[in-house]
């Protein structure tokens, strides 16, 4: 606990208060009238009353001499660290001795005082060396060290750290630092000229804000005492963003469908790209590729929201599908690409169109059923049901329509025609598609039936009776006869011929026929049996 030592060269004189005594002691001290010197060594922070050394024994004085000489301590200090127990001849601790307070970092640390005895006067110098105990931990002045480090910082970048203070000295003083184990930084330790230890972090592996925007490390300072003491400071590292991430579309292909003829500003789809960077580096703008020739006039992309709208007229009959290349770009010019496939849905916006391939009019009334009158072609630009057409004839007429080939229809006669009953037909062909609502087109064919000489002329009466007065002059009109033929033109032209026979004993040639006008009935001037007859060509 304590040890007496012999006189050493080191000496420090302290002077008690009191003018005369001070001067006296000064002289004694100055000229070396000091009878003896002892040196003790004790650790700091010992309890009051702890034994320092046996002064009587070490000075070779007996207890009687101590008593008779009124042995006492004289010191210039205000604090009386030690007490001389004259009855036992020992020196004990009187007050708390804190090495750090007494000497700060001076080594070794000691204080001296004199033991004075009277009659005769003796002056003995006692030096007490205070050895350090590890009663202080390394401490940091701050609780947190804040760093803002760009994620672009290169390996090898150095970041000096606050050093810790340990009031203890020697091995009890600050020994080394430790840094929380981490992937990015290693600790480098240094000592400056006066032996103070400090540390710095060295970046070993680049930082990535997107993986970890904050790093929380601890710097631990330890001393060399036993038991060891330590102090800790938090190192709070905020990683600053650089634009090291390109935007990324959340889909490699976007699919949308729009109906054709949709009005301007119809919503199509919203695309989205995210950028892992922070702040302005993460702001993404959307735009179409220049490669989308043509379709860029039909669609518009909102550069901020990524929403795609229709701005032109989308026509299914022109394009059934659009493929738009899109880009996303951040402020730093990093980009990503994706595509949008827009299916156009058909709307029944096209009526079927009828084209006449051939049509023959007139048609002879003796044409057999099944005779082809015409061929039409029907086209509907729409697709699926919207483009599926059916063809029918509106009127109740002896014609039918038949399709042998897709989109081609044949107009046929259905039954026997008779010009004399109906000489002309208006045949309306209607084509209708299967869309909802359906669209249709009509075409009217005016078909004339040409005549065939299939009717004989007929007299209006089976027998004509006439009375004539005898002794007529030749040329007297006897009667008017009339025949009709329902055929047309030449086929209806009637000639009247008197059949060769005898009438009343005379030949029929004694009579003659005369026509009242070109096509009027015939007047028999004279004669008996009359027969209408056709003129044939």
Ligand X SMILES: *[C@@H]1O[C@H](CO)[C@@H](O)[C@H](O)[C@H]1NC(C)=O
Beta bridge partners of 124: 36, 115
Interaction with ligand X in 465-504: which residues (CB under 6 A)? none
Q: Hey, what are 394's tokens?
A: 């509106």
As measured in angstroms, the least distance from the Cβ of 474 to ligand X is: 50
As measured in angstroms, the least distance from the Cβ of 444 to ligand X is: 7
- Contact (CB, 8 A) for 312 and 299: yes
Angle (CA) 205 210 214, round 5°: 70
Q: 445 vs 361, 378, 389, CA distance in Å?
A: 9, 15, 19
Residues 6+ apart with CB under 8 A from 60: 36
| Alpha carbon distance 37, 28 (integer Å) | 13
40 or 399: CB nearest ligand X: 399
Strands 109-117 and 90-93 come out as unpaired
Q: 221 vs 135, 189, 230, CA distance in Å?
A: 15, 11, 5
As measured in angstroms, the least distance from the Cβ of 364 to ligand X is: 18
Residue with tokens 């889909």: 251
297 or 394: CB nearest ligand X: 394
426 or 533: CB nearest ligand X: 426
Question: Mapping DSSP to helix (H, G, I), strand (E, B) and coil, where does residue 279 land?
Answer: helix
Interaction with ligand X in 11-30: which residues (CB under 6 A)? none
Q: How many residues bind ligand X (CB under 6 A)?
A: 3
As measured in angstroms, the least distance from the Cβ of 256 to ligand X is: 50
183 or 424: CB nearest ligand X: 424
As measured in angstroms, the least distance from the Cβ of 360 to ligand X is: 17
As measured in angstroms, the least distance from the Cβ of 413 to ligand X is: 16
| Alpha carbon distance 406, 377 (integer Å) | 9
- Residue 421's CB is within 10 A of a number of other CB atoms, namely 9
As measured in angstroms, the least distance from the Cβ of 445 to ligand X is: 10
- Contact (CB, 8 A) for 197 and 187: no
424 or 499: CB nearest ligand X: 424
As measured in angstroms, the least distance from the Cβ of 426 to ligand X is: 4
118 or 424: CB nearest ligand X: 424
Chain residue whose CB lies nearest ligand X: 426
- Contact (CB, 8 A) for 72 and 87: no
323 or 394: CB nearest ligand X: 394
Report the residue from 297, 385, 394, 424 that binds ligand X according to the rule CB under 6 A: 424
Report the residue from 106, 211, 360, 426 that binds ligand X according to the rule CB under 6 A: 426
Nearest to 337 by CA among 392, 379, 280, 288: 288
As measured in angstroms, the least distance from the Cβ of 423 to ligand X is: 8
150 or 426: CB nearest ligand X: 426
- Does residue 442 interact with ligand X by CB under 6 A? no
Rg (CA), the chain: 68
Residue with tokens 């050895």: 131
358 or 446: CB nearest ligand X: 446
Report the residue from 355, 446, 490, 516 that binds ligand X according to the rule CB under 6 A: 446
Q: Hey, what are 63's tokens?
A: 């207890």
Angle (CA) 119 124 130, round 5°: 150
170 or 398: CB nearest ligand X: 398
Element (H, E) at 473: none
- Residue 101's CB is within 10 A of a number of other CB atoms, namely 12
163 or 413: CB nearest ligand X: 413
- Contact (CB, 8 A) for 310 and 297: no
As measured in angstroms, the least distance from the Cβ of 355 to ligand X is: 21
Nearest to 486 by CA among 417, 441, 412, 419: 419
As measured in angstroms, the least distance from the Cβ of 396 to ligand X is: 13
Q: Which residues bind ligand X (CB under 6 A)?
A: 424, 426, 446
């Amino acid at each position: 606990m304590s040890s007496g030592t012999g006189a050493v060269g080191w000496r420090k004189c302290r002077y008690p208060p009191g003018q005369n005594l001070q001067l006296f002691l000064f002289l004694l001290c100055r000229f070396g009238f000091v009878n003896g010197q002892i040196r003790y060594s004790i650790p700091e922070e010992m309890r009051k009353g702890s034994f320092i050394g046996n002064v009587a024994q070490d000075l070779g004085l007996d207890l009687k001499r101590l008593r008779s000489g009124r042995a006492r301590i004289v010191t210039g200090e205000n604090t009386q660290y030690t007490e001389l127990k004259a009855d036992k001849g020992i020196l004990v601790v009187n007050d708390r001795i804190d090495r750090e307070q007494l000497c700060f970092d001076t080594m070794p640390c000691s204080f001296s005082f004199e033991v004075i005895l009277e009659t005769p006067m003796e002056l003995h110098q006692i030096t007490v060396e205070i050895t350090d105990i590890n009663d202080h931990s390394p401490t940091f002045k701050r609780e947190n060290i804040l760093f803002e480090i760009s994620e672009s910082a290169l390996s090898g970048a150095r970041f000096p750290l606050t050093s810790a203070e340990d009031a203890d000295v020697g091995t009890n003083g600050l020994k080394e630092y430790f840094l929380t184990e981490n992937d990015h930084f290693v600790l480098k330790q240094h000592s400056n000229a006066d032996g103070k230890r400090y540390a710095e972090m060295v970046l070993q592996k680049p930082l990535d804000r997107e993986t970890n925007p904050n790093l929380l490390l601890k710097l631990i300072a330890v001393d060399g005492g036993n038991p060891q003491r330590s102090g800790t400071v938090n190192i709070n590292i905020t990683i600053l963003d650089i634009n090291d991430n390109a935007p990324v579309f959340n889909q490699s292909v976007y699919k949308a469908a729009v109906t054709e003829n949709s009005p301007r500003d119809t919503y199509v789809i919203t695309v989205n790209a995210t950028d892992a960077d922070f702040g302005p580096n993460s702001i993404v703008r959307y735009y179409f590729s220049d490669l989308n020739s043509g379709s860029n006039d039909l669609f518009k992309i909102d550069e901020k929201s990524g929403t795609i709208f229709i701005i032109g007229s989308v026509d299914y009959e022109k394009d059934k599908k659009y493929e738009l290349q899109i880009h996303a770009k951040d402020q730093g010019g990093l980009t990503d690409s994706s595509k949008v496939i827009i299916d156009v849905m058909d709307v029944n916006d096209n009526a079927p169109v009828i084209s006449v391939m051939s049509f023959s009019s007139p048609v002879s009334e003796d044409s057999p059923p099944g005779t082809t009158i015409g061929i039409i072609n029907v086209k509907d630009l729409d697709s699926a049901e919207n483009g599926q057409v059916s063809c029918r004839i509106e009127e109740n007429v002896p014609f039918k329509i038949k399709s042998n080939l897709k989109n081609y229809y044949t107009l046929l006669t259905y039954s026997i025609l008779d010009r004399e009953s109906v000489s002309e037909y208006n045949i309306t062909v209607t084509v209708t598609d299967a869309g909802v609502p359906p669209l249709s087109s009509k075409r009217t064919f005016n078909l004339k039936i040409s005549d065939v000489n299939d009717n004989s002329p007929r007299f209006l009466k089976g027998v004509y009776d006439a009375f004539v007065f005898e002794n007529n002059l030749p040329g007297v009109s006897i009667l008017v006869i009339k025949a009709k033929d329902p055929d047309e033109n030449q086929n209806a032209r009637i000639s009247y011929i008197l059949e060769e026979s005898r009438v009343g004993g005379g030949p029929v040639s004694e009579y003659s026929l005369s026509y009242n006008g070109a096509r009027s009935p015939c007047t028999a001037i004279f004669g008996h049996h009359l027969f209408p007859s056709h003129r044939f060509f």
